[in-house]
Amino acid sequence: MVLVHRSPPDSLPIPSVTVENKSATYKLIEHLILNHNKKRILFMRGPDHQEDSHWREMGYRSALQANGLPLDERLILKGEFEREIAYEALSRFLSSGERPIFDAVFAGDDDAAIGVIDALTKYGYRVPEEIAVVGFDDLRLSAFLTPPLTTVRAPTESVGQIAAERLFGLLKNEDSGGTTLLPTEIIIRRSCGCDV
């Protein structure tokens, strides 16, 4: 057995392969803060049971704290890494009369970012002129969105390939223990406010 995008219990030496989530999210949130002076960043949370979701939220919280920005729990919504769910959640938020001010959105992943951009457009916000939007995963279509999406490139194909190699190693009684954590890369495009 090889786990993908999930860590094994401490008591079981099951190998796993995943991508770096926390540091990349931290860097992306810090980019919004330092390069675009964003101070009220809305966070679209992924599924509760997914480690990727947990570590991305930890990166968000750490970046706010490191840059002296308060955490406003009202700016954390459930996006579930799903376009339609993110769209509905943000639409409800935007239609609320007593919603807090925000100037950027970390959409959780690129699929949710599409829903976020659609909801912002429906309510008359311009991306990135009024609200910056960033995602995670760098889907193939992310470069072709309007505006092109700033995101994190995650080597998802490599995760599957390495997991398969480790599984075949286990079948040959080779040592394949431990966690493989693959690096991610920030991809800057126009949706964050950069002129690229």
**Residue 11 burial by Cβ neighbours in a 10 Å radius (0-12, 13-18, 19+):** exposed
The structure tokens listed for 94 are: 């935007």
In a domain, 73, yes or no: yes
Verdict on whether the full-model pTM lies above 0.85: yes
Q: Could you tell me the pLDDT band of residue 126, with boundaries at 50, 70 and 90?
A: very high
Number of neighbouring beta carbons within 10 Å of residue 35: 13
* Whether residue 176 has pLDDT greater than 80: no
Q: Which region holds residue 68: left if phi is over 0, alpha if psi is between -120 and 50, else beta?
A: left
In a domain, 121, yes or no: yes
Q: Domain of 124? A: 21-154
* Whether residue 177 has pLDDT greater than 80: no
Structure-derived torsion over alpha carbons of residues 105, 89, 123, 34, reported in degrees to the nearest 10? -10
- Residue with token string 């925000």: 102
Sign of the CA dihedral with 191 first, then 142, 108, and 184 last: negative
Mean pLDDT of all residues in the chain? 96
The structure tokens listed for 166 are: 């480790």
- Encoded amino acid at 178, one letter: G
In a domain, 192, yes or no: no
In a domain, 139, yes or no: yes
Predicted pLDDT at 196: 87
CA dist 24 and 53 (Å) reads 13
In a domain, 189, yes or no: no
Nearest to 80 by CA among 59, 58, 52, 105: 52
In a domain, 14, yes or no: no
**Side-chain-side CA neighbours of residue 38 (13 Å):** 29
CATH number at residue 28: 3.40.50.2300
Structural domains in the chain (count): 1
For the segment 96-119, what is each residue's pLDDT rounded down to a tens digit? 988 899 999 999 999 999 999 999
Nearest to 194 by CA among 112, 119, 132: 132
